[in-house]
Structure 1
Amino acid sequence: MQNNKKQGVLLVNLGTPDEPTAPAVKRFLSQFLHDHRVVDMTRWLWCPILHGVILPIRSPKVAKLYQTVWMDEGSPLMVYSQRQASKLEKQLDIPVELGMTYGSPSLQTGVEALLARGVEEITVLPLYPQYSGTTTAAVSDGLTKAFKAIPVMPQYRFVRDYHDHPLYIKALAESVKRSWEKNGQGDYLLCSYHGIPKRYADNGDIYPQHCERTTELLGKELGLSSGQIGMTYQSRFGREEWLQPYTDKTLEKLPAKGVKKLDIMAPAFSSDCLETLEEISEQCLEIFTEHGGERFTYIPCLNDDDRHIEMMSDLVSR
Structure 2
Amino acid sequence: MAFNKAPQYTHGSPVKTAVVLVNLGTPDQPDAPSVRRYLKQFLSDPRVVEIPRAIWWLILNGIILPIRASKSAAKYALIWTKEGSPLKVHTGKQAMLLRGQLGEQGHAVKVEYAMSYGNPSLPDVLNKLQTDGCDRILIVPAYPQYSATTTASIFDAVTSHYRKVRNVPELRFIKHYHDDAAYINALRNTVQAHWDVNGRGEKLVLSFHGVPKRTLMLGDPYHCECYKTARLLGQELGLSKDELLVTFQSRFGKAEWLQPYTAPTLMQLAKDGLKRVDVMCPGFTSDCLETLEEISLEAKHDFLEAGGKEFHYIACVNEDPGWIAGLAEITARHLQGWPTRPTEAEKTEEIIQLGIAANAAKQLGAAR
TM-score tier by shorter-chain length is: over 0.9
Question: 1:1-318, aligned counterparts within 5 Å?
Answer: 5-93=15-103, 94-318=109-333
Output the CA distance in 2 between the equivalents of 1:65 and 1:258: 30
Deviations 1:247-303 (A, max 9, x none): 011011112434211100000011000110000001000110111111100000111
8 Å contact kept, 2:182–2:330: no
Alignment gaps of 5+ in structure 1: none
8 Å contact kept, 2:147–2:220: yes
8 Å contact kept, 2:19–2:138: yes
Deviations 1:83-113 (A, max 9, x none): 0011011111321011211111111112122
Identity %: 48
Deviations 1:219-242 (A, max 9, x none): 000000001011100000000000
SS across alignment from 1:15? strand
Letter in 1 for 2:223: P
Under a length normalisation based on structure 2, what TM-score does the superposition of the two structures give? 0.84
SS across alignment from 2:25? coil
8 Å contact kept, 1:5–1:120: yes
Superposed displacement of residue 116, structure 1? 2.7
Output the CA distance in 2 between the equivalents of 1:5 and 1:209: 39
Letter in 2 for 1:37: R
Letter in 2 for 1:71: T
Deviations 1:70-93 (A, max 9, x none): 011110000001100110111113
SS across alignment from 1:134? coil
Letter in 2 for 1:68: L
Larger radius of gyration: 2
8 Å contact kept, 1:95–1:117: no
Under a length normalisation based on structure 1, what TM-score does the superposition of the two structures give? 0.97
8 Å contact kept, 1:32–1:38: yes
Superposed displacement of residue 149, structure 1? 3.2
8 Å contact kept, 1:12–1:126: yes
Q: How big is the alpha-carbon RMSD for the aligned residues of Structure 1 and Structure 2?
A: 1.1
Larger CA deviation: 201-210 vs 106-115? 106-115
Alignment gaps of 5+ in structure 2: 1-13, 104-108, 334-368
